[in-house]
Amino acid sequence: MSDHRTDAPLREDIRQLGGLLGSTLHEQDGEAVYRVVEDIRTLAKDARAGVDGAAEALEHRLGELPDEMIMPVVRAFSQFLNLANIAEQHHRVRRSRAWLRDPESTPLRGSLEEFFARTRESVDPEALHATVRDLDIELVLTAHPTEVMRRSLLQKYNRIADLLDQGDRLDPTPEEIEEVHQALRREITSAWHTDEIRQRRPAPQDEARWGLAVIEQTLWDVVPRHLRRLDRMLQRHTGRGLPLDAAPIRFGSWMGGDRDGNPRVTASVTREVCLLNRWMAVELYEREVEALVEELSLQCADDELQERVGNAWEPYRAELKRVRARLRLTRHWLEAQLEGRRAPDGEIYRYTEELREPLLACYHSLQRCGAGVVADGRLLDLLRRLAVFGLTLMRVDIRQEAGRHTAALDAITRELGLGGYADWDEDERQAFLTRELASRRPLIPRDFAPDEDAAEVLATFRVIAELGEGSLGAYVISMAARPSDILAVELLQQEAGVRRSLRVVPLFETLTDLEGAEACIGRLIDIPWYRKHIGGRQEVMIGYSDSGKDAGHLTAAWALYQTQERLVALARREGFELTLFHGRGGSIGRGGGPTHAAILSQPPGSVSGRLRVTEQGEVIQAKFGLPGIAARNLELYTTAVAEATLQPPQPPRQEWRALMDRLADTACTTYRGLVRETPEFIDYFRHATPEHEIGQLTIGSRPARRKPTRGVESLRAIPWIFSWTQTRLMLPAWLGVGEALGEALAAGEAAELRRMYREWPFFRAFVDMLEMVLAKGDPDVAAWYDARLVPAALRPLGARLREQYVETRKAVLAVSGHERPLDDAPVVQRSVAVRNPYVDPLNLVQVELLQRVRHGHEENLRKALMVCINGIAAGMRNTG
């Protein structure tokens, strides 16, 4: 909870940063621009406060802006929102640190201290230690959702956060206060003169480099710090610490591996990205070993180490210098591979254990010689990093659509005169695949020359064989629906000569595929070859984005919950370990939301110490860009997965299931009735939102559409949600929910709904997420878009949607018992309120820009429109 006093430092930071931005604007662009921005800001605040005539005056003032004034106005409000985000993130870190300084205060929910103190009262120490020791959490960074901000600006904003932190930690003299103030002024001025818009669309390799920067600049230092704290908590509460090779949290990546609908991700791109990952890993390890060479000048050593180094005068330095030399050789070898030149001769590091072995020898020697306090410093941190990051930092998943494998196999069978694989039914496909998997002869002729698409698929499998499992994670099949989809990938790996095949992970996305997931995996496990092949472990990915776009948020959420339940039950019956891979987005409509609540709301038994989850590009900076925030997020993942494993929620009551079935049916009928069955909906969507213009943003390597058709079905879930977020209608997150809840409330089921909200974590998390959406949304803002951009014949549809929004809000509040959205989350509520007067003008300007640009005579305003889209995204704190 929050009160006026604890938020005072945040308000002071926002006031200081806003004042510096105003001064920068005045100095760099002059009095006239500064005065216009101030007038608009005042009118926007008055409009939000309900001052008579202010809203109309604001709209009129923005409508009459000359072209040359639009860009500085848009940039000013956008920059303020980004600075407010920095201040809020820093305040979260400040409050966490304040709690750590005050042992009498109540621990933060989800902190390591709170979790261990609460759990030790009801859980045996042995079980607690074993659960934490064996945690297997993998956060998979993706690039395809929209990170709209340029890396150059992110770096400047991170430096601003560092300066705020520096100001907090000093017991400052007036001179030191002035130095921090001037440094902030320099960074804000520099940001003001930095272009917000990329000049070109990033390549997949650029996205991969951005992901590596997150590791290098933040997670590389945060991870060992997190593991030190976890080790201390285990020691304190169970009597035993964390093993040296424990890796409770690891990192994967889709950057450079996700080729589903992205023709720019090719086999050569995947190879290059994997080599880049290895190069950065070696570079980081080399820096750490260099520091250890300087630090470990000790002469005491055990016999084992002395024997390794031939009784050298400084044994640790002698051993580590050999490690350093081999790391340098490995780095040079990787550089040669990346540049296409001959690699140097010599023995390079290929496997993590090769690097771990000499470091462990040094560690154990220090411990045996009584210098354990030295061993448990930088050297232990390096061993912890090695356990988490390996020699690749992030293993890259391959993702491809099932139909591409079908087409490749069809080309092969036709070449062999066996007929068309694509024409065979499921039984015929399975018989062919299992027969070939059991065969030792090659299937693909040496002189086989397929078309370009099939050739690229086969080239990808050859790259998998070349790189090996050290660089790669899983092979994810999107649009998987039947056992042959999985067996096809196994066969193609075998034909390419993959020595140790990647685990194959079917991704079930649409409502139909989710409902069929249990039957598909069940039939797959029944195949003797496959059951033996997987060794008792199966991973399944469930998709939140396309399921929500297909059936609506409520229906998809319930379908995902039930799918997990059925898969967990299947795994127990058939005796295999199940890992669920959650393909979540950053926005609520794509499964996003607070980490801790989301994990604890999963079905009982679905976590069980193991969790894979995507961290989408749009939220990576917000969750891992600053060290303090990154540490908090790692902590939340750790405690939530451990708690869900040790103390899973009770299964929902049967009457709750029946009610959820009815809610889901009503919500789905309403959602599809509008999105799929209302003829004018697509035209309305195209006019009322900046969907077309978002497609022109240079924010990702992937096309906005899978196929060049007009329907929503071909549009990716990301721009679909991004578009509605821009207009503040937030339609994908709530459409159908109001009708479903309203129907239940009218039928006298209010008491049952409120009981579900109090007692069922899944339903409470769902309703709380809706409240967050409804707090950020604003139908009055959406009405501005309709009034200026939508043809008169389509406006009744917009009015109907806004009415549905209002009714949904009433129904959700009736269930939660709140007077306003987020009444039990005042910090977030206040955050939204602070942003509204700055987002509102951007929405109004965006409407004006869209109208001018769409009439084709204001081509020079397109850049301002792109900046405006970025600014609204910053204000809403999410995009797609």
Residues classed as catalytic? 144, 549
- Token pair listed for 234: 């285990």
- Half-sphere exposure of residue 534: CA atoms within 13 angstroms, side-chain side: 27
Report residue 184 CA to chain centroid gap. 29
DSSP string, 605-621: TS-TTEEEEEE-HHHHH
Contacts of residue 243, Cβ cutoff 8 Å, sequence gap at least 6: 133
Query: Which one-letter DSSP state was computed for residue 343?
Result: P
Report residue 204 CA to chain centroid gap. 17
Distance of CA 207 to CAs 145, 158, 395, 457, Å? Answer: 11, 19, 15, 22
Strand-pair partners of 474: 503
Nearest-angstrom CA–CA distance, 831 and 49: 16
| Nearest by Cα to 393 from 227, 224, 218, 252 | 252
Contact 196, 150 (CB under 8 A): yes
Distance of CA 220 to CAs 212, 213, 285, 389, 395, Å? Answer: 10, 10, 10, 9, 15
Contact 390, 352 (CB under 8 A): yes
| Nearest by Cα to 204 from 277, 285, 278 | 277
Query: How many residues are given for the chain?
Result: 880
Q: CB burial class (10 A; 0-12, 13-18, 19+) of residue 350?
A: middle
H/E element, 577: strand 577-583
Strand-pair partners of 540: 580
Nearest-angstrom CA–CA distance, 441 and 423: 24
- Token pair listed for 848: 């004006």
- Token pair listed for 762: 């899944």
Strand-pair partners of 580: 540
Pairing, β 249-253 against β 136-141: parallel
Distance of CA 305 to CAs 349, 370, 385, 403, 871, Å? Answer: 20, 15, 22, 55, 58
Report residue 446 CA to chain centroid gap. 42
- Token pair listed for 534: 């997987």
Strand-pair partners of 138: 250, 612
The residue behind tokens 């693909």 is 444
Nearest-angstrom CA–CA distance, 389 and 406: 34
| Nearest by Cα to 463 from 243, 665, 270, 189 | 270
Query: Which one-letter DSSP state was computed for residue 375?
Result: I
H/E element, 289: helix 267-295
Report residue 821 CA to chain centroid gap. 25
Name the residue type at position 132: V
